[in-house]
């Protein structure tokens, strides 16, 4: 899987690589194609059982041992409020790595399947329509069409760091309702 992606990325580099183009790794989830900046992808692995973290949000499946580093695994379907599916041997975990103010952060996301590597120029992307003020749309950076297919480009940084806020918000909500009771 990694090799195939590597191969394709090489093709893309030698083919249409120009300065303002960025490469995106795309993956399939519930029939839609999503893309993440390929530079944020550390590796692609098969699904393996995780160690559950107590009282974690539903979409955090737990942590795995990635060569000595403890890496949390997020179920992207559950994060995006999509229907759950059973994990199978072909379920894929994409390990993402981003720089945050707290240092490097590594996290895995569970997706249905890895699809392709595309070179996409920034000028071709369109902002997503702001229809609904929804948490899930916050992760979407932009939309782009490649060969008549729409690809949703995700903001990896947000995807990996936002849970802190979400949890805080959740706590706030709980605290509010608590105080309401009193």
DSSP 84: P
3-state secondary structure of 81: coil
Region label for 103, one of left (φ > 0), alpha (ψ between -120 and 50) or beta (otherwise): left
Nearer residue to other proteins within complex by CB, 62 or 82: 62
Of 25, 63, 111, 153, the residue at the interface with other proteins (CB under 8 A) is 63
Strands 21-29, 32-37: pairing kind = antiparallel
3-state secondary structure of 95: strand
Specify the stretch interacting with other proteins by CB under 8 A; choose among 33-41, 43-51, 75-83, 86-94: 43-51
Smallest separation, CB 56 to other proteins (Å): 7
Of 25, 44, 64, 152, the residue at the interface with other proteins (CB under 8 A) is 64
How far is the C-alpha of 95 from the C-alpha of 111, rounded, in Å?
11
Smallest separation, CB 55 to other proteins (Å): 6
Residue 53 contacts other proteins per CB under 8 A: yes
Angle at the Cα of 84 from the Cα atoms of 78 and 89, rounded to 5 degrees: 105
Nearer residue to other proteins within complex by CB, 120 or 160: 160
Residue 90 contacts other proteins per CB under 8 A: no
Maximum alpha-carbon separation in the chain: 66
Residue 167 contacts other proteins per CB under 8 A: yes
Residues that bind other proteins (CB under 8 A): 49-56, 60, 62-65, 68-72, 103, 105-107, 163-164, 167
């Amino acid at each position: 899987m990694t090799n195939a992606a590597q191969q394709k990325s090489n093709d893309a580099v030698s083919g249409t690589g120009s300065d303002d183009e960025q490469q995106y790794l795309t993956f399939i989830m519930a029939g839609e194609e999503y893309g993440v900046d390929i530079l944020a992808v550390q590796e692609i692995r098969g699904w393996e059982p995780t160690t559950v973290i107590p009282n974690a949000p539903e979409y955090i499946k737990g942590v795995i041992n990635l060569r000595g580093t403890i890496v949390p695994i997020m179920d992207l379907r559950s994060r995006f409020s999509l229907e759950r599916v059973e994990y199978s041997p072909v379920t894929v975990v994409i390990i993402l790595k981003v720089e945050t103010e707290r240092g490097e952060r590594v996290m895995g996301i569970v997706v249905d399947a890895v699809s392709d590597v595309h070179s996409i120029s920034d000028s071709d992307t369109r902002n997503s329509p702001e229809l609904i003020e929804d948490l899930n749309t916050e992760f979407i950076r932009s939309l782009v069409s490649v060969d008549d297919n729409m690809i949703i480009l995700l903001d990896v940084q947000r995807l990996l760091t936002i849970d802190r806020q979400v949890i805080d918000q959740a706590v706030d909500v709980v605290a509010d309702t608590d105080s309401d009771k009193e």
